[in-house]
């Protein structure tokens, strides 16, 4: 009876890991299975006469899932990793899932206000402070991140670093950045600003969570 319990508890996290893996695979394959159709749709601007309503709904659903596949996949992987830490992080997992879901919903917005120089400058200073916190404790005390005391904070930090990494790659193709002479660059400036704003927020969140992970256990919450 007792030997079956660990397997029973490990099963959900394995399922979430497989779901996350499947979403990341779909994210990659979507470049050939979804993106060409999406581009054709943009080119024709909805003027395709022989397309049924069901086909449009199916195509839109596939496109939306593809656009969010990396973020949702990374969230599933992070949840699986947090679930592996046991019941101790149950409360933390709930708060993390709620916060991550809110961020993914905000990330899906195609446009954000801005750009604001003060915002980027302030977030930049905040990130520097978090970097100093994360590395400064290790330099001054030599025991930061020791013995995996707060793995849940590092898992959450890694999640936002993963999103930021993905958005850095995405900025290479948004607005024709890789094609400076392309006419689409100016037309997509709003999208470029939105994506850059999302990226800087993700980096700030990632460094903030990592800085918390570097603090002594008594200063961390959610454990």
Q: For residues 19 and 73, what is the distance between their CA atoms, to the nearest angstrom?
A: 7
pTM (whole model) above 0.75: yes
Dihedral over Cα of 162, 165, 171, 173: its sign? negative
pLDDT at residue 79, as a whole number: 94
pLDDT in tens, 4-19: 454 555 578 899 999 9
- On the question of pLDDT at 66 being above 70, the answer is yes
* Segment 120-145, tens digit of pLDDT: 999 999 999 999 988 887 777 666 56
How large is the average pLDDT for residues 58-87?
A: 86
Binned at pLDDT 50, 70 and 90, residue 200 comes out as: very high
Q: What span, in angstroms and rounded, lies between the C-alpha atoms of 184 and 114? A: 20
Contact predicate 223/89, CB 8 Å: yes
| Domain residue ranges in the chain | 1-84, 89-223
Q: What is the pLDDT of residue 13?
A: 86
Under 8 Å CB-to-CB from 217, ≥6 apart: which residues? 149, 150, 223
| Torsions phi, psi for 215 (to 5 deg) | -80, 160
């Amino acid at each position: 009876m007792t030997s079956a319990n660990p397997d029973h508890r490990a099963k959900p996290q394995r399922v979430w890991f497989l779901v996350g893996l499947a979403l990341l695979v779909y994210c990659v394959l979507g470049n050939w299975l979804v993106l060409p159709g999406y581009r054709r749709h943009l080119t024709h601007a909805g003027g395709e006469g022989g397309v049924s309503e069901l086909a449009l709904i199916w195509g839109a659903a596939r496109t939306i899932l593809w656009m969010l596949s990396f973020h949702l996949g990374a969230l599933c992987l992070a949840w699986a990793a947090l679930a592996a830490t046991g019941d101790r992080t149950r409360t933390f997992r709930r708060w993390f899932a709620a916060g991550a879901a809110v961020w993914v919903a905000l990330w899906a917005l195609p446009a954000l206000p801005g750009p604001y120089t003060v915002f980027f400058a302030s977030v930049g200073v905040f990130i520097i402070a978090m970097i100093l916190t994360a590395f400064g404790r290790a330099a001054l005390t030599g025991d930061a991140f020791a013995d995996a005391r707060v793995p849940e904070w590092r898992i959450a930090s890694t999640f936002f670093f993963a999103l930021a990494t993905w958005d850095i790659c995405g900025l290479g193709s948004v607005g024709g950045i890789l094609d400076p002479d392309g006419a689409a660059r100016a037309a997509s400036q709003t999208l470029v600003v939105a994506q850059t704003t999302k990226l800087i927020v993700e980096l700030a969140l990632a460094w903030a969570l990592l800085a918390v992970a570097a603090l002594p256990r008594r200063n961390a919450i959610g454990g």
